[in-house]
Structure 1
Amino acid sequence: MDFVFDSEISKDSLKTILLELECHFTWNLLKEDIDLHDVEDSIGQQLEFLTSKPRLVLHNLLAYVKHLKGQSKDALKCLEQAEDVIQKEHPAEKEACSLVTWGNYAWVSYHIGQFEDAQKYLDRVRNVCRKLCSPSKYKLEHPKIDCEKGWALLKFGGKYYQRAKAAFEKALEAEPDNPEFNVGYALTMYRLDDFDREGPVKSFSLGPLRKAVALNPGNTYIKVFLALKLQDVHAEAEGEGYIEEILNQTSSQPYVLRYAAKFYRRKRSWDKALQLLKEALEGTPSSSFLHHQMGLCYRAQMMQIKKATHNRPKGKDKLKVDELIQSAIFHFRVAVEQDSMFVFAYMDLANMYAEAGQYSNAEDIFQKALHLEHITDDHKQQIHYQYGCFHQFHCKSEYAAIHCYLEALKVKGRSSLHMKLTSALKKLATKRLYHNALDMLSLSALGFVYKLEGETRRATEYYQKALKIDPENEEFLTALCELQLSI
C-alpha cells in the first residue's frame, strides 16, 4: 500500500529514503567540478545534433544541471521530456528505464517543498522494485541504470573517469555485447588514455573502440574516436580511411566534424582542420572545444613560420605571425569564457599572451588558473609547471621559476611530468650555484629533488649547506630529520 505524506515524521524520514535511490542526486556529481553553463550548452548541442547519443541520458542529465543552477521548473520540464523518450524509445523496458527519472523527480520535488509529489515518485520506484523482486525497496540492480550512471560521470570530467569506467564495466558484465554499453565504455577508456597529456601514448581503448564500432557500424561518433586512436598508435592511414568515410556520409554533425578536425590538425593539415572547425562552429558557435581547437591550429601555423625563419620572422612573415597570435588568443579566450574549468585553454591562452609579449595578461591568466578549485592533481601540476616555464623563458626570472617547479613537485609524487620537473630544477639550481655557492633557494631545491629521488646522502648534503645560511629554517630542519630517520 502506498503511503501518504501527512506528518513531520514522514517529512524527516523522506530524505533518508531519497538517499537510497539510484539517480543523479545520489551519484555524488559535484557542481564545483564543472562549468554549469558549458555543460548545459554542451548537452543542448548534443540533443540537437548528436543523434547517436542516448536521449534519455541527456534529458535526465540536463534536468540535474538545471537543478544545480537553481532552475527547478526547467528541471521538471527536462524530466517530462525524459518520460516522453521512455514512452517512445524504451517501451519494452519502460519500468526499469524510468527509475532514474523518477528518482530525479522525487529529489527535485523534495528540494522545492512538494513533498507529496516526492512521495508519489518514491511509491513508483518502490512498486517497480517490488515487482522486479529487488532485495532493496528503493534500488534496483540493472545494467541500464549502471550505463546511465557511467554517462553522467563521464560528463563531469576527469576526476570521475575511473568511476565511469567501473559503471560501464558493471553494465557490460550483464550484457557484454550491448551496443550502447560498449560505446560508453570505449569512450571512457579513450578519455582515460588521453587524460595524461605528458605521459607516453596509451592505447588501452583501441580494443574497446574496435568492438564498439563493430557493434555500432552506423555510429559515426564512435568511429571518429577509433580514427584518432589509430592515429595515436601510428596507424594514421587506417584512421584517415575512417575519417574520409565519415565525412562522405556526414554533412552537418558538429560533434563528428570537431573530432575529424582534430585528426587533421594532428596530421598538420591545418587548413583542412580549420575548414572543418569553421563548419562545425556554424552549428555550435559557443563550443569551448571548437574554439580551443581553432586556437591550436593558429598556434601551430605560427610556430611553423617561426621555425622556418629561425625564430626571426620579418616583413610578411612577421605580419602573418602577429595575425596568427591574435587569432589564437581570440579563440583561447572564448574557450575560457565558455568553460571556466577548461584548464588547458587557460594555459594555452596564458602562453599565447606571453608569445605576444603581453606579460601582464599572461600573469593574470596564470593567476586565474592557479586559483581554480576542484581540479585534479595532474592539472594543478601542469599549471605550476607552465607557470615556471613562463617565468624562466619569458620573464627571465630563475628564482620565480624554481619556486614554481618546486610547487609542481609538491602537488603529487611520481607523474609523467616528474622527470621534466626534476631535470629543469637540477639545471637551474646547479647553474645558479655555479655563480653563487650560497644561493639558499637552489641548495634547498636540490635537497628536495634528491630527497624525492631517494638519494639520501646528496639530499642531506644540500640541506646541511642551506641550514648553515638559515639555521632556524623549520622546513630544512624537518627535511634533515626525516632524512636521518630514513637511514
Structure 2
Amino acid sequence: MSESQPTLKTCLEELKCHFTWGLQEKDTDIEELEERLNCQLEYLNVDAKGRVYNMLAYVNHMKNDYTEAIVNLQKAEGILWEYKVLETDIKYLLTFSNYAWLHYYLNDSERSQLYIDKINAIYTQSKGLEDLVQSETNGEQGWALVNFCSQYYEKAKDCFEEAVKGNPDDPEWNTGLATVVYRMEDFRGRSWPCFKSFSFQLLQRAVKLNPKDSVIKVLFALKLQGLKRQEEAMKHIKDVLELTPDLPYVLRYVAKFYRRAGKFEETIRVLKKAVSITPNSSFLQHQLGLCYRQMIIQRKGRGYGDHSVPDTQEIKDLMKKTIFHFEMVLEIKKTFLHAHFDLADMYIRSNQYQKAEETYKKATELTTTPEHEKQQAYLQYGKFLENCKKSEDEAVEQYKEGLRIPDQNEHRQECEVSLRIIANQKLARNPRDASALALLGFVSKEN
C-alpha cells in the first residue's frame, strides 16, 4: 500500500464505514463471526442482506482476502440495483465507502478516488437532508457494532439513539435501538436505571413501526413475559410462529420463552427443529444445555446443591445431555464466556474437577471479554479454587486480578469481600500475619 497520497488517506479517514468505526479483530472470533454472517444471509430478508455483505467484505479484509471482499461488495451493490435505487441515494454511502477503502488497500488509488467522488456526489445531491444522511450513517454503524461483538453494545446504543433522533420513525433504527437495549439488559445483566421500562417502550415502538418483523416481536414477547404479562406475551408468540414458522432467529427465542415458562418438552421440540436448520448455532446449543439443566433443578428440587444425595439414572442422563450441549457451544464459539461458567458448573456437579478447573482457566484467558466480564471470570475461578480445590493462595491471585480491573460493579465488590474475609481469617489465627496485612494493604491501594 502506497503512502504517497496523504490527501487520499485523509479523505478515506473521514468516511463513515467499517474501516473507520474501530472494529478490532482482537474483540471478536473472526471465524465464528463469518459463520454467523453467512447464516444471516441464508435466512434474513433481502433488504437486510446488503448490510451483511458489507460486514463480510470487512471480515474478508481482516483475512487479507480482497478478491472475496470485492465480490461481497458487488453483491451488496447488486441488491440496491435490484431495488432500482439511484446511485446518488444515501443507501449507497456504506458500500461506496467500503469500496474506496478496499481499492486503497489494493494500491488502486484511482478507483479509490472514483468512489470518493461518488460519495461526494451523494452528499451534494442530499443538500438540505443532512439529518437523514447522519441518521443513515449512525444507523449503519449501530448495526455493524451490534453484529461484531457484545463489547460494542453500549456504543451501538449511542449510534442508534442518534439515528432515531435524525429519523424518528425509521423502523430499522428503532428496531436496532430496541434490540441492543434488550440485549444489554437481558444478556449482560447490567443494572441500568430505568432500563426495565425503557427497553419495554423501545420494543413496543419497534413492533408498532415494523409489525411484520417477527424477530423484534418475539423479543417483545420475552419482555412481556419478564413483566408477568403472560397472556399478551403468548399472543405475540403465536403471531410470530404464524409469520415465520421456520426462521431459526425466531425459533431460538420462542424456545427461550417456553423454557422460562417451564415448558421443557415444547422447548426441546422447538430447539431441535431450529438446530436441524442451523446446526452450528452456539446460541441454540446453549439453550438446549440450559433447558436440560433446568430439568435437573426441577427434578431435584431443593436438593439440587446437595452433593451427598445420590443421583437417579434420569438425573445422570440429563447431566450427560447438559454437558454435551455446553461442550458443543464451546466447540462452535470458544469466546462464549458464560458457557464456560455453565460447563464448569456441570463438571463440578459431576465430580469432574480437573475439567472444571481447565474450563475456568480458559475463561480467564479469553481476549475478547469486556472488562466487567473479566472480573466475573476471575471471581468464578477464584471461588472454585477456594471452595472446591481448597487452594486459598491460588484463589487470592484470581481475586486480586479481578480487583485490579477498575470497573465498579458487583463482581469487583465480591472479589474485594473475598480478599478481606481471607485476610481477616488469617489475622484471627495470627494478628501479625504478614501476608494478611499485605493483602489488606493491596485492597486499600487498589481502591
- TM score, norm. by length of structure 2: 0.89
Structure-to-structure mapping, 1:23-422, within 5 angstroms: 23-51=17-45, 54-89=48-83, 91=85, 95-133=89-127, 141-197=133-189, 199=191, 202-203=195-196, 204-307=198-301, 309=303, 311=306, 317-422=311-416
Which digits, 9 at most, give the CA deviation of each residue in 1:246-280, with x for residues without a partner?
Answer: 22443211000101111222223222222211111
8 A Cα contact 2:361 2:381, kept in partner: no
Which digits, 9 at most, give the CA deviation of each residue in 1:37-66, with x for residues without a partner?
Answer: 111111111221132872221111121112
8 A Cα contact 2:90 2:133, kept in partner: no
| Residue type of the alignment partner of 1:393 | N
CA separation of 1:119/1:146 partners in 2, compared to 1, >3 Å: closer, same or farther?
same
CA separation of 1:94/1:234 partners in 2, compared to 1, >3 Å: closer, same or farther?
farther
CA separation of 1:88/1:70 partners in 2, compared to 1, >3 Å: closer, same or farther?
same
Residue of structure 2 in register with 1:472 after alignment: none
Between stretches 430-439 and 143-152, larger displacement belongs to 430-439
CA separation of 1:227/1:388 partners in 2, compared to 1, >3 Å: closer, same or farther?
same
Structure 2 unpaired stretches of 5+: none
Structure-2 separation of matches of 1:69 and 1:215 = 38
1:287 positional shift:
0.7
8 A Cα contact 1:46 1:53, kept in partner: no
Structure-2 separation of matches of 1:353 and 1:53 = 44
Which digits, 9 at most, give the CA deviation of each residue in 1:396-446, with x for residues without a partner?
Answer: 233333332232222124213345444444444444444454544444445
Structure-2 separation of matches of 1:9 and 1:50 = 40
Structure-2 separation of matches of 1:59 and 1:369 = 31
Structure-1 separation of matches of 2:400 and 2:234 = 42
| Residue type of the alignment partner of 2:349 | E
CA separation of 1:90/1:441 partners in 2, compared to 1, >3 Å: closer, same or farther?
farther
8 A Cα contact 1:228 1:263, kept in partner: yes
Using the aligned pairs only, state the percent identity: 37
Structure-2 separation of matches of 1:86 and 1:410 = 49
CA separation of 1:229/1:267 partners in 2, compared to 1, >3 Å: closer, same or farther?
same
Partner of 1:57, secondary structure, is: helix
| Residue type of the alignment partner of 2:182 | Y
Structure 1 unpaired stretches of 5+: 1-7, 452-478
8 A Cα contact 1:86 1:94, kept in partner: no
1:125 positional shift:
1.6
Which digits, 9 at most, give the CA deviation of each residue in 1:179-221, with x for residues without a partner?
Answer: 1111011112112223542748941311110000111111110
Structure-2 separation of matches of 1:104 and 1:336 = 32
Partner of 1:142, secondary structure, is: helix
8 A Cα contact 1:67 1:75, kept in partner: yes
CA separation of 1:439/1:334 partners in 2, compared to 1, >3 Å: closer, same or farther?
farther
Structure-1 separation of matches of 2:307 and 2:357 = 25
Cα RMSD (Å): 2.9
CA separation of 1:216/1:73 partners in 2, compared to 1, >3 Å: closer, same or farther?
same
